[in-house]
Structure 1
Amino acid sequence: MLRRYRYRAYPTGEQVMALAQVFGCVRVVYNDALSACEEARARGRHLPSRADLSAALTEAKRTSEREWLTSVSSVPLQQALIDLERAYRNYFDSLTGRRKGGRIGPPRFRSRRGRRQSARFTANAKFHVFETGHGVGHLVLPKVGRVRFALSRPLPARPSSVSVIREADGRYYFSFVVDVPSTVTASPVRRAAGVDMGLTDVAVVVRSGGVREKIVNPKWHKSAGHALARAQRALSRKQKGSKNREKARHRVAVLHRRVREARRDHHHKLARRLIDENQVVAVEGLDVAALMRTRMAKSVQDAGWGILVRLLHEKAVEQHREVAVVDRWQPTSQVCAVCGTKDGRKPLHVRVWTCRSCSAVLDRDFNAAVNIMIAAGLAEILNACGGDVRRTLACADPDEAGTHRTDRLRATA
């Protein structure tokens, strides 16, 4: 399978200038090709093929206006044309319904003011990677030179391509694509888990063995809200184009990076633990894009539900595990997981409710997680663990088994 390995890069001053030139050339080639495609669409003609765009690029290099394109490697320029072709294909597939997911728009022009820049080098560029035994690696790029990067972990095989990325905070990264064999390190287990995602608790997990837990939402963006607000106010007071404004913008970008990396690290560890401990993980198929248009949009974005689900799928493929996605219209919060009685909708502030049929005092989140397991077809696993396992997992009684782990996680979060 194809996997990405990302490393922090440390280019010198001259290499920074060379990489900036590569980013600028890639952006210009992409925008020129997009302009030609949009002109053809406006005239009612077919879009030019990638071969036609490549020939036009070769002709442009011979002109005085674009002769500076020859100062960089031709490989990332050709990759920009491939990216544009893929963007149009995704757009047209989205219009016709052949592409799953939400509707996406047509390709847009790239701005030189975009803080995140990238360029991709394939094996045709003949780049070379040199690894050392003391945590330092070097990447030799054509017309750029030998760039040092932090070799935090060895590459398992020779990479097929590398993307050079400059983030908004000025950091540089190398992202290698490596084809590695699929190796399963975890043995199969007869355990399943249901995960209900929320805002107070980013994930409520119930396991078929009778253990349950709540993973408290650290609220990364909200925790850094005061520092971000102060940095944004300082940025707004700086004069445009000044060096002080650039420094203030950099401070804002650093704060956003810290929030982003903390959230990603948390979700990586949580997804890895869930996949290692369970053979099947059932989650609810939430429409995150629709929730981003509600008054809870900021909190939903801070929780990172979509990132967590994506990481669960990726790690499940690696370990030959399964992630079952339940239809979002399943009434998981309205049905009693003990007797199956549907008790109707409840406001969000109702966290504990009593079933009118079996009189079980149910925890809203734990009950929903059990119902997610049942909706995913895992009822037989629950039944095999004993008749009281549903009551143990769904009820709100603090004296029942499994809740001590919840209290410990809350106290140490």
Structure 2
Amino acid sequence: MDVGQPLSQGIVQSNLGIPINCDKLDEVSCFAGFSVREVVNKLNEIPPCESFKSVAGFGNTFWFTNEYHGGYISEGTASLEDTFKKMKAFSPVSERRISIVTGESGLLSCLPELSKLSNLVIILDQNPILLLFLISIFNELPKIERCGEEEYEDLIKDAFLAVKKKVEDIIFSEEDILYLAKEYRDAFKEWHCFSSKERFEETKKVLKKIHIHPVCTNYYDEAAMKTLAEIISDEGLSIAFFNVTNVLEYYYQFFEWKRYPCPIKGVDNTLYLKELPLTEDTLCAYSSLMYRDDKQTATCTGDIFFEEAYQLHKLNIYYDVCGETLSEQKTDKELIVEACLRLAQTDPREDGNILTKLRNLLAHSSQEALFQLSQNYREVSKKIDKNKAYKSSLENEQKKFTFLSVLQRALDEAGLTVNRPDSSYEGKRKKR
């Protein structure tokens, strides 16, 4: 089997300029049916979404995953440990496989299992601080000779020091990071690489035959996702494991990165992810951590991932707006009018995401729900009229009109008509 040329000795740079030690790839495992060098070189051409200077003091850094029992996940619900178990039992059909994970994704606790699926692991995240921290850990871990408390702390401290050299005025302290590192290790128990001498040696052995490469970009960046998909496809690769964590819950970024065109139908925050060549047997993991009480990490195969993600987003957007989860007793038909009334009464000066929420709500509602809304259109319009935040200026009047326009557009696309009251901004504008 032609396994391609190994990476040369020394250091390569990621697309953000993070140095990565490639000495371990002097001998590429026969598991790799492709040239790691070629893939890495192409990955480094993806423009980074941030720089270290622009994220100085980055407050939203998740140094370790928190998707474990005792973290964000309650006992009895699915967590990353369950994903590790499925990973352990998973047998990929093709050797030409890579894995894509988001942030830390439990890498310090699952590398032996992940190495059986692919020998190139892409860490994708928009936060360069986190990527530098993680790559610093994986560069230094093979050099550690002993599995002890002191060695583990030194590893974390050295990685954090590498971050502090790049980023001034970082808001986290060394004590903060060490506390999180201990919580993380204790939570994953026998899975963690520092849990025992056997697990430690197993993880070090694995690090000699896999390459972990950071890519600083955003899942909501259309151009980046297309480029990543093209790289994977052009090399004839497929994805063995894909962990998007709870990124899909940050649906506002879908609108921040690129303003979605006017139609309501098709608003889907997985749109750019659909560029990735997932296969029927890709093992996918995704999480629900922000909106509902039943926080968990779920797994599924690639053939149903996007439908699962769509349904999760539908549940989340209704909970975000209504504070209630869709169920057999509470369907979108029962909640759609209440949800729109809540948004109509919200002060746009206090919540600048009203239209984003409205569009997501309408895009993820059934035909039955939209019909129910069409029957109650006047009620929603009257609530908008009574919202004092829309009466202080022409600009706010236009925002009011936009709210109703989005509503009307969704109903029009669904083939539904409404009687639009004369009190709408449209009616007032014609009289001026």
Asked if TM exceeds 0.5, the reply is no
Higher strand share: 1
* Higher percent of residues as helix: 2
